[in-house]
Amino acid sequence: MSNTTALLSLVVPVFNEEENIPLLTDRICTALNGYTFELIFIDDCSTDGTREAIKKMQNPKVVLVELKKNYGQSLAMAAGFDVAQGEYVVTLDGDMQNDPDDIPAMLAKLMEEDWDVVTGIRQKRQDSKFKTIPSRIANLIIRSTTKLNIQDQGCALKVFTKETAKNLNLYGEMHRFINLAAFLDGARITEVPVRHHARQFGVSKYGLGRTFKVVNDLLLILFQRKFLQKPIYFFGNIGLALFGSGLLLGFYFLALKLMGEDIWGRPLLILAVLLIVVGIQFFSIGILYDLLMKTYFESQDKKPFRIRKVSRFDA
């Protein structure tokens, strides 16, 4: 399939980007001249004239998805993935900091080298420290805790295969970790340098306060992806460690008691009892969580695996 005939779906979540909409649309149409594509704007309940600006263009390539309320970028992006009809899905921000001219090369790389995701590395990033600090923290944590060696997790410009995009479960503010979510689902990911521009219109929706959100969301997704199908490994190991420590202390005080020493009221004895009780509780939580996960998969007829590709070869 030629990359000019394959339908592309460009997913662009927007919130109060009235001035950027016409300019971004023109830039995309110019960059993808000769390509078959749909441009999906997901309006996250903007309070300015963003919706009107999109409707005013009357562009046949544009699809407007209006959300009922402000859900945040992750759910807006999920709505765009749900609506997308293309064989390949492209994501980019609506603030014009991403350059649509980078899309053809990224698409060609994905198709020719059989990647599932091609993500950008922003060159000469045009952002303040309030935006770059959280990204650096997230990048460092991800590289040190997973096998995903991506330099720029936060670049919004990405190209996905349809299957990869539609299988992503986005909620909360997980859009920051799309690469990680796809990787933990088995996607093959590579990155390429892309251009990055300073924001000209509108106001950035990010600040230093998102650092804590970044860390919390990252820990959550790592836990869910690693232990979703085997929660007993997490809770059970903690429970066994606590129970074992309490049991050792218990035997120690039992030995002291047998030697005739008074052990009543000692803080370590109280700690031993506490460790045993808490250890049993953690192990019990692991069993209950395991049962919940089995119910989750079986009640919805979900498969605990995803096949990336099936190749058949004629004799």
List the pLDDT tens digit at each of the 315 positions of the chain: 456 556 899 999 999 999 999 999 999 999 999 999 999 999 998 999 999 999 999 999 999 999 988 888 888 898 999 999 999 999 999 888 999 999 999 999 999 999 999 999 988 766 555 566 666 776 777 777 777 888 887 789 999 999 999 988 777 667 778 888 898 788 999 999 999 887 776 565 555 555 566 667 767 767 766 676 677 778 888 899 999 999 999 898 889 888 888 887 788 888 999 999 999 998 888 888 777 876 766 676 655 545 455 534 454
Q: Are residues 27 and 113 in the same domain?
A: yes
Q: Are residues 34 and 133 in the same domain?
A: yes
Q: Are residues 53 and 20 in the same domain?
A: yes
Is residue 306, in this structure, part of any structural domain at all? no
Q: Are residues 146 and 259 in the same domain?
A: no
Q: How far is CA 258 from the centre of its chain?
A: 57
Residue range(s) defining the domain that contains residue 136: 8-227
DSSP state of 196: B
Place of tokens 């232990």: 227
Is residue 307, in this structure, part of any structural domain at all? no
Residue ending a domain, among 227, 260, 278, is 227
CATH number of the CATH domain containing 207: 3.90.550.10
Distance CA 227, CA 234 (A): 7
R_g of the chain, CA atoms, integer Å: 25
Is residue 32, in this structure, part of any structural domain at all? yes
Q: Are residues 56 and 147 in the same domain?
A: yes
The tally of domains found in the chain comes to 2
Q: Residue 289: its pLDDT value, please?
A: 78
Q: Are residues 200 and 246 in the same domain?
A: no
Tell me the two tokens of residue 239. Answer: 């429970």
Q: Are residues 213 and 261 in the same domain?
A: no
Q: Residue 219: its pLDDT value, please?
A: 72
**Which one, of 73, 79, 163, 151, lies nearest residue 117 by Cα?**
163
Is residue 3, in this structure, part of any structural domain at all? no
Going by their DSSP bridges, the two strands 158-161 and 117-122 should be labelled as antiparallel
Distance CA 207, CA 130 (A): 5
Q: Are residues 25 and 64 in the same domain?
A: yes
